Amino acid sequence: MHLRSGTKQLDLNSPKIMGILNVTPDSFSDGGKFEQVDNALKQAIKMVEQGASIIDIGAESTRPGATAVSLDEELTRVMPIIEKISANINCWLSIDTSKAMVMKEAVLAGADIINDVRALRNKGALEIAVKENTPVCLMHMQDQTENMQVQAAPQNVLRNVKDFLLERIEACLEAGMQKSNIILDLGFGFGKSLEDNLTLLAHIKYFVALKYPILTGVSRKSMFGKLLNREINERLAGSLAGAMIAMQAGSQIIRVHDVQETVDVMRVLQAIKK
């Protein structure tokens, strides 16, 4: 299984680590640390040196209760950073956005993947993604970020998430998207209870069977805060356990804050498989 973007090719026959680069003032874990271009570039270089294959750049927080950011503000935050990183580092870049115009401008500036927590449901997003012919990650979200945790959790989370993802896959294929450009994200923490999150983590193989690359993002999530009674900066062990479970189940992309530690886990698992 491979992803292709222009002349780039990413082999997903072994797990790949996606490093999180939030360029927002209010992200739940590292808000405000990497807003400046130079700081963002240094962090991207560090993560690539530690073993990240993809850098995921986001300029709008998707934490529960987060408020929307205007198009102009998101472009102002993210575009100089994408341009800088693209010009200085040879790695895959992902743009974490739900806005069609941000997707378009980011891909033109060097982004290789569109990572959309709203699964291309916003106006114009699906059309732009098809036109740009770039890999896209479709994520399951219970509702919009402002009130996603207010909604009642699905009674059958496996069926609910699968049905949603299949519907979005069908919409993408009907719009002309290549099947090889589709990545799936189960949406850990987005409108889901602790039990839902644990059920999804225990059943990643259920979604791997759909034959699309699976991106798993559980890094520092509140599920570990609730399960282990740990603050955000104390969730490394839980995050690594989640990453290990996801890799063993066949998840091809692991989205994390702590790149070096996760790469160590991956290397141990690969050594055992050999």
We report the CATH number of the domain holding residue 166 as: 3.20.20.20
Task: State yes or no: is 255 an active-site residue.
Answer: yes
Measured CA to CA, the distance from residue 98 to residue 85 in angstroms comes to 21
Task: Please tell me the distance from the alpha carbon of residue 272 to that of residue 274, in angstroms, as a whole number.
Answer: 5
Q: For the ranges 84-93, 145-154, 192-201, which has the lowest average pLDDT?
A: 145-154
**Residue tagged active-site, from 77, 99, 235, 255:** 255
pTM of this prediction?
0.89
H helices of 51-150, in order, are 71-88, 100-109, 125-132
pLDDT 10s digits, 14-53: 999 999 999 887 554 555 566 688 889 999 999 999 999 9
Q: Residue 179 carries which DSSP code? A: G
Mean pLDDT over each residue of the chain, to the nearest integer:
90
Mean pLDDT for the stretch of residues 230-248: 95
Q: Please say if 192 is a catalytic residue.
A: no
Q: Which domain holds residue 58?
A: 2-273
Q: Name the domain count of the chain.
A: 1
**Active-site position among 16, 220, 221, 235:** 221
**What's the CA gap between 97 and 120, in Å, rounded?**
10
